Amino acid sequence: VVIFFVTYGFAIFGIKLIVEPLQELRAHATDPEDIRRMDSLMPILDGLDKLMFTLVQVLCGDSFHAFVRDIMYYLPMSWLYFYSYVAVACLVLMNLVTAIIVEHAMETSRNDNEQQLQDKISKQRKEVKELKRLFEMMDTDGSGTLNWDEFKESFGEPQMRNKWRLLDFQPDECKELFRLLDDGDGEIETGEFFEGLGKMKGPAQAKDIFRLQKGLDKLQQRVDEAMGHGCS
């Protein structure tokens, strides 16, 4: 559509710039060779539709130099008209192609981001479901909390031990893991279990950070208690 309007505009301009001067020269021509040459040009130039078709031929590079040279014989600067059209039309085409490519790339990027988000949400839901199932298997008395005995037994039972290994926890980490998850009351509640394992799940660095955070929290708690006793 854009190329059509560019071609249409140049055709209107070409009627005034090239066709009408050639028609005037033809009306006053006396040399048979000039008459023959201009008569051969009129079928491809005389009319808006014909000139638009000729411009498209020029844009496609379809053997246009012969008739352009004939026009230049009478209008020496006419080549500027045709090459200006080619330059403008090609610029428009390149911009259109670039816009299409950029739009496609942005659309692909948006789709990828949405897919990654959906995958992340799905993965998180799956992890929560797995942790919930593990907690229910460990909570043998159905109290909704895990004491040390229940927690320790989970590392001894083969099925649950495999689940711990899938979460990247080894049996020798049992005691330390319970201490990290427990807030100090000797039992691990559901929230403590999910939050703690969620933060530690993944690379070893995440576990180290969680250990450091829990250590600082417990140190702060002891300092607060000591200050409280001192004030009393």
In whole angstroms, what is the distance from residue 167 CA to residue 104 CA?
A: 40
SS3 content of the chain, % helix, strand, coil (to 5): 80, 0, 15
The residues, ordered by sequence, that sit 6+ positions from 51 with a Cβ below 8 Å of its Cβ are: 11, 14, 15, 19, 44, 45
In whole angstroms, what is the distance from residue 204 CA to residue 209 CA?
A: 9
Which helix or strand (DSSP H or E) is residue 65 part of?
helix 65-74
pTM listed for this prediction = 0.41
Predicted confidence at residue 12, as pLDDT, reads 92
Reported as a pLDDT band with limits 50, 70 and 90, residue 118 is confident
189 - beta bridge partners? 145
Q: What is the share, in percent, of the chain residues with pLDDT greater than 90?
A: 2
In whole angstroms, what is the distance from residue 104 CA to residue 110 CA?
A: 10
> What pLDDT digit, counting tens, does each position of 5-39 carry?
888 898 998 999 889 999 998 888 889 998 998 88
Is 232's pLDDT higher than 60?
no
> What pLDDT digit, counting tens, does each position of 155-190 carry?
888 878 777 777 777 778 788 878 877 777 788 888
